[in-house]
Structure 1
């Protein structure tokens, strides 16, 4: 009887401590330091930092609560990070709570998607604003490593549907080069860098690696899609290079985060990376005065009914060295080292999506994006009972 009492007491002590643990929550206070509003801002918390504050939390049984509205906030566990989004007014501070709870059995509707598409061997990705693709081995003779743009008029995902319509035959075929009410692929890339592709800048010319040779999806929604492309070994003036490109697109944004890493037998060499925007008819080039960005704005296609399209590239101030151009594209150039990651941002925006009325708004978006990078959100964590 004495042994049984001890066991019972130990069990009760364990259960009560577990209940006590589960009553703790993690408060997250997030401040916007900018003097401008920030929409669809991604808040990224390292799981290592979360577990350091509250070791009992796990990624599968937590919810994020907005303390003002008391409502659940859509979140994504992204390997090492917990992601969720919100909007900020200028200089606004918001509070959230991370705690044990269930998001229900229903899978949340994703606002992003990325996929390797057979038989074309493209990698295509999108969010609720815009879509992109890069070409794989099947089209190696016709294209290079440029980024293609698909313009969207709708907030739902369309990539899978558009590919199916294009591949169907007979009366079922629906070309994605024609706008049927959702948008279309009006963009022409060819062998250029397209809407923010990159290459090596050496002796006043751009060297490109060709199409990607392998791909892998790292995460796919509901708030962020991330994937990685690897290219075959290529030569730049006799030097061997292997490129890996990791691309992330967040819901509600128009620019991709692009992380480029080159490896070679001689690590540590300084290299110059050129990021480009393919030249288009009837477009105007703009560039930042104090911040490193370039933007191209003009007619989307021959028919003016298809509105206007902006493309743009943003670099970090720490890597930026200058701007240039060749016969095919406008270029913004940064400095990197072999074996280290070079990060930049590139994408597009369309008038018919309802997000940009004209070039002034597109240029303001690129300028504010630079400022956002220079003024990261301020995040504080604290455990509450």
Structure 2
């Protein structure tokens, strides 16, 4: 009898401990209100939301499958303390899913690759380049500007956004720059991974901004300061700053945070700007032989064009509250023809997304597929995933 009582007592203690442990678990409930599957959308969790002091020891487990999710911590203000925890859930259409927050050791986290990568590139003058598993981009710095102004070969004077057309999932930035060091111009040739054959010049490229006054568009020069914020399996983000510039008598102050998430063809631009009530975000029209499509209901403009021996779609999408109108600006001047999305500045800030899809990457083979992607992206912006703690 004593033995039975002892066993019952121990079992009761263990049961109470298990119940207490279960009670303390933090369960994240994610709801998808759209009738489409949601993938490659990043959920951002903060210490305040989770009521946790250290995000670096946290893991996220699928409550149904027990699968540990790939996560990434981000130190926004560069103080050595993680401010955000990122992960990308997969939620079926019109459904919800639960994840549990657990404590894990670093070696227990899933093995990952830094698909989302960015860096300053001093060896190629002073580019800043970024990429994920789908697309790559670059912008140009002050040394390239000075070289152009001094008529030195290799300089670039442009605040437009350059597109690097990659067709492989793995990172290519470091490899292409290294090969270009050995053989200048190497990345202008497709060696099986893609190439840089997208001309920017003084155009807006894929998402560069302008300020329109009367009928004239004004641009900044190259970026002057930069700071990498994060790289990892889910997101890369960085900060760019520009010297004040004149827009028809208005002094414009501009800086921006740019981020690119795993699985997305569109970079997110969060621009802080003073001196104007609106900006114009552009897509270069190159030889003007493509087709501009606009969807005012979904706040996007797209340019589907023949590109060398292939085709290319570029686009700008904005959250509805920023969107004003669209315009095709056709100029006889070289590189000044752009398709513009005019966006409203709210509290000295604008948010928009810009990017591309290249046929050779086998992601989008037709204009209809590309525009379908843009419509889905817009719907997801309007109807974000609902994230709550149970």
Q: Which residue of 1 aligns with 2:163?
A: 149
Q: Which residue of 2 aligns with 1:288?
A: 295
Question: How far 1:91 sits from its partner (Å)?
Answer: 1.1
Q: 1:153 to 1:235 in 2, by over 3 A?
A: same
Specify which structure has the bigger relative contact order, considering alpha-carbon pairs within 8 angstroms and separated by 6 or more residues: 1
Whole-Å Cα distance in 1 between the matches of residues 21 and 214 of structure 2? 62
Mapping of residues 88-103 of structure 1, within 5 Å = 88-103=91-106
Whole-Å Cα distance in 2 between the matches of residues 230 and 370 of structure 1? 28
Question: How far 1:239 sits from its partner (Å)?
Answer: 2.4
Q: Conserved in 2, the CA contact under 8 Å of 1:137 and 1:211?
A: yes
Question: Is residue 2:144 matched to residue 1:139?
Answer: yes
Whole-Å Cα distance in 2 between the matches of residues 92 and 178 of structure 1? 46
Q: Which residue of 1 aligns with 2:49?
A: 49
Q: Which runs of 5+ in 2 are unaligned?
A: 1-16, 76-82, 149-155, 332-336
SS for the counterpart of 1:243 is strand
Q: Conserved in 2, the CA contact under 8 Å of 1:166 and 1:174?
A: yes
Q: Which residue of 1 aligns with 2:378?
A: 370
Whole-Å Cα distance in 1 between the matches of residues 90 and 356 of structure 2? 21
Whole-Å Cα distance in 2 between the matches of residues 188 and 27 of structure 1? 49
Whole-Å Cα distance in 2 between the matches of residues 223 and 63 of structure 1? 15
Q: Conserved in 1, the CA contact under 8 Å of 2:294 and 2:326?
A: no
Which of 343, 362, 379 is the equivalent residue of 1:354?
A: 362
Deviation string for 1:278-333 (max 9, x for gaps)?
003331111114221001112222xx2xx321100001211211111322111010
Which of 281, 284, 288 is the equivalent residue of 1:278?
A: 284
Mapping of residues 1-385 of structure 1, within 5 Å = 24-51=24-51, 55=52, 58-79=54-75, 80-104=83-107, 108-119=112-123, 120-140=125-145, 141=148, 142-169=156-183, 175-263=186-274, 271-281=277-287, 282-301=289-308, 304=309, 307-326=310-329, 327=331, 328-337=337-346, 340-382=348-390
Whole-Å Cα distance in 2 between the matches of residues 207 and 183 of structure 1? 32
Q: Conserved in 1, the CA contact under 8 Å of 2:62 and 2:68?
A: yes
SS for the counterpart of 1:366 is helix
Whole-Å Cα distance in 2 between the matches of residues 159 and 92 of structure 1? 38
Q: 1:197 to 1:154 in 2, by over 3 A?
A: same
Question: How far 1:188 sits from its partner (Å)?
Answer: 0.5
Whole-Å Cα distance in 2 between the matches of residues 22 and 223 of structure 1? 29
Q: Conserved in 2, the CA contact under 8 Å of 1:310 and 1:349?
A: yes
Question: How far 1:160 sits from its partner (Å)?
Answer: 0.6
Q: Per residue, is there more strand in 1 or in 2?
A: 1
Q: 1:99 to 1:318 in 2, by over 3 A?
A: same
Q: 1:74 to 1:347 in 2, by over 3 A?
A: same
Deviating above 4 A after TM superposition, structure 1's stretches of 4 or more consecutive aligned residues are 20-23
SS for the counterpart of 1:166 is helix
Using structure 2 for the length normalisation, give the TM-score.
0.84
Whole-Å Cα distance in 1 between the matches of residues 65 and 215 of structure 2? 55
SS for the counterpart of 1:176 is helix
Whole-Å Cα distance in 2 between the matches of residues 285 and 157 of structure 1? 31
Give me the CA root mean square deviation: 2.2
Q: How many residue pairs end up in the alignment?
A: 349
Whole-Å Cα distance in 2 between the matches of residues 355 and 92 of structure 1? 26
Using structure 1 for the length normalisation, give the TM-score.
0.85
Deviation string for 1:8-46 (max 9, x for gaps)?
xxxxxxxxx9xx779832111111111222221111122
Q: 1:174 to 1:242 in 2, by over 3 A?
A: closer
SS for the counterpart of 1:369 is helix
SS for the counterpart of 1:352 is helix
Whole-Å Cα distance in 1 between the matches of residues 42 and 215 of structure 2? 37
Q: 1:244 to 1:379 in 2, by over 3 A?
A: same
Q: 1:69 to 1:279 in 2, by over 3 A?
A: same
Q: Conserved in 2, the CA contact under 8 Å of 1:228 and 1:246?
A: yes
SS for the counterpart of 1:249 is strand
